[in-house]
Amino acid sequence: MIHILNINRLIHTHHAKLAKSSISFKETSGLIAQSMIRTTNHALIAHSYWENIKKNNKDNNNNSEYRQIPDDSRFMDKHYNELINYRDKIVGVGGSFNDLNSITELFFKLSKLYPNEGKPEQIELFNKFIDDLWQLLMLNGGYIDILDLMIYNKQVFDHCESTKHHV
């Protein structure tokens, strides 16, 4: 569902290109689709995805197995501060993602933090975080408890790095 604000933003953002007579329908529809994707709450899409996975697993009595996150995952390098910020907003300062009942609850609560009134850059940053989190959790079978472990490991690593004696 597209909100009126998103349509107005879309028209305002691309009015110069849309006003040109040389722009094709394909280009116009591409611009509209691109803007809609950029302004869509990706956390709601992820929530729906994991709801469907949960439903299918329940119907098939099939639980996904935990899979180790690849060593070359750069998620924490890119999103550590965001992960801490969203964790604190969702489960309280210093809380644990384990306090959530499920991955669907995680994405539902994240969807409520979507920057509706934010600048396009804020929306893009939010959606990029969600997309990367979604991908990370798909890689490990949807186990959210890994997020707490990743935060802890980064904090320990940073502490070790800061207290290392340089000769």
Range of the domain at 150: 42-163
Please, what sign has the CA dihedral across residues 90, 133, 54, 102? negative
Does pLDDT of 23 surpass 60? yes
Tell me: do 126 and 146 sit in the same domain: yes
Q: For residue 34, which amino acid is it?
A: Q
* Same-domain status, 120 and 86: yes
Q: Do 124 and 97 fall into the same domain?
A: yes
Q: Could you tell me if residue 114 is left (phi over 0), alpha (psi between -120 and 50 degrees) or otherwise beta?
A: beta
Q: Averaged over 126-133, what is the pLDDT?
A: 94
Q: Does residue 95 sit in the same domain as residue 26?
A: no
Q: Is 91 found in the same domain as 18?
A: no
Structure confidence at residue 1 (pLDDT): 38
The DSSP code sequence of 103-119 is HHHHHHHHHTT--TTS-
**What's the whole-model pTM score?**
0.68
When divided into structural domains, the chain yields a total of 2
Q: Are residues 52 and 29 in the same domain?
A: no
pLDDT at 67: 74
Please give the pLDDT value at position 7: 47
Yes or no: say if 145 and 97 are a contact pair by the CB < 8 Å rule: yes
Q: Is 63 exposed, middle or buried (0-12, 13-18, 19+ CB in 10 A)?
A: exposed
CA separation for the pair 106, 110 (Å, rounded)? 6
Give the residue, 117 or 148, on which the prediction is more confident. 148
Task: Pinpoint the alpha helices (H) of 61-119.
Answer: 75-91, 103-111
Same domain, 79 and 125: yes
Higher local confidence (pLDDT), 117 or 42: 42
Same domain, 11 and 62: no
In this structure, of 56-70, 114-128, 152-166, the range with the lowest mean pLDDT score is 56-70
- Domain check: are 78 and 147 in the same one? yes
At residue 61, the pLDDT reads 47
Q: Can you point out the beta strands (E) in the chain?
A: none
What whole-number distance in Å separates Cα of residue 99 and Cα of residue 148?
A: 10
Query: How far, in Å, CA of 110 to CA of 46, rounded?
Result: 10
Q: Are residues 85 and 139 located together in one domain of the fold?
A: yes
